[in-house]
Amino acid sequence: MTFNSDTEHSSASRCGYVAIVGRPNVGKSTLLNHILGQKISITSRKPQTTRNAVVGIKTEGDVQIIFVDTPGMHLGQQKAINRYMNKAATSAMKDVDVVVFVVDRFIWTEEDEAVAEKLQHVGCPIILAVNKVDQIEDKETLLPHLQVLSEKLSVAEIVPMSALRNTNLDRLETLITERLPEGIHMYPEDQITDRSSRFMAAEIVREKITRQLGDELPYEMAVEIEEFKQEGNLLNISALILVERDGQKKILIGDKGARIKLIGTEARVDMEKLFEMKIMLKLWVKVKSGWSDDERALRSLGYNEF
């Protein structure tokens, strides 16, 4: 597995960028992980789990697809962190070769409408991926709904699918590949993301917190890697977890430290799978009031791509 390798050029027939967009919680990150067969984008049932645009690279033979998993585009919440996420998603739609617009079954919201409006201005083919069709009991209702969507949106193709069940993902990949330009591969064939190992470690910790405390701990939580040092087959990682209030810190630590210990155990298991070595993980919790609405604090935490 390779992270942040130097770009390596080789002869290839097709290579291009594909943005995966949609409102929060429609399954964009799950879709990327299942296409890659490797978990690089964190997931939870909590909306807005993805905060950064995460690149996932799939190379098969003469085809290299560079996917960009984006934060869910959302309305209403106007903190600096929310503005950052919306900007990351909008920016990802520029200069790509294909856009995959993910929606959730029969559900169509104001946020879906807002995404659709933004897509009117992209100059590349759009594939509409109707996700979670495995949860539709009466499959006969699907075809009329797809017809309604085709009238609502100007898209190249509509693909009913289930990211979680791997249903119709091969069809989606085929449609994407057909629309990629001819060109050389931009990454080595064994590279699966352009993100650093430190970034991936921080995201794993944040996923475990979000999954355990999604309803109790709101979005005012961030993870910063303070130590990332390899000694032989042992990787020492120290992660600082930032929250905004003392009450959030108490919830995160739990009774006699039980909650933070469980988060650390679950994160370490995933890190050992990802980095393929033994992990020594230390977690710290610190209160930093107002960080999620502070532009300077966000930049210091790595939310500085624009």
What does the pLDDT look like over 285-304, one tens digit per residue? 999 887 777 777 666 666 66
Q: What is the mean pLDDT of residues 108-112?
A: 91
Confidence label for 46 from pLDDT (cuts 50, 70 and 90) = low
- Confirm whether residue 24 is marked as ligand binding: yes
| Residue pLDDT, tens place only, 138-191 | 888 988 999 988 888 889 999 999 999 999 999 999 999 999 999 999 999 999
- Residue 305 predicted with pLDDT over 70: no
pLDDT at 9: 42
pLDDT of residue 10: 41
| 27 annotated as belonging to a binding site for a ligand | yes
On whether 277 is known to bind a ligand per the annotation, the reply is: no
Known binder of ligand: residue 181?
A: no
The superfamily CATH assigns to domain 12-176 is: P-loop containing nucleotide triphosphate hydrolases (3.40.50.300)
Residue 25 annotated as binding? yes
Among the ranges given (24-28, 47-51, 58-62, 81-85), the one the predictor scored with the smallest mean pLDDT: 47-51
Q: Residue 236, annotated ligand binder?
A: no
Q: What is the mean pLDDT of the chain?
A: 86
Asked if residue 261 belongs to a known ligand binding site, the reply is: no
More confident residue, 262 or 305: 262
Which of these, 64, 77, 132, 146, lies nearest to 102 by C-alpha position? 132
The verdict on whether residue 71 carries a ligand-binding annotation is: yes
Q: Does 72 appear as a known binding residue? A: yes
Q: Which of 96, 79, 90, 120 is nearest to 21 (CA)?
A: 90
Band the pLDDT of 121: cuts 50, 70, 90.
Answer: confident
Q: Is residue 247 part of an annotated ligand binding site?
A: no
Q: Is 22 annotated as a binding residue?
A: yes
Give the CATH class of 195-299. Answer: alpha beta
Greatest Cα-to-Cα distance within the chain, rounded to the nearest angstrom: 59
Per the annotation, does 104 bind a ligand?
no
Does 29 show up as a binding residue in the annotation?
Answer: yes
Task: Please give the model's pTM, rounded to 2 decimal places.
Answer: 0.81
Q: Which has the closest alpha carbon to 102: 185, 45, 159?
A: 159
Say whether 194 counts as a known binding-site residue: no
Whether the per-residue pLDDT at 197 is higher than 80: the answer is: yes
The domain segmentation of the chain, as residue ranges, is 12-176, 195-299
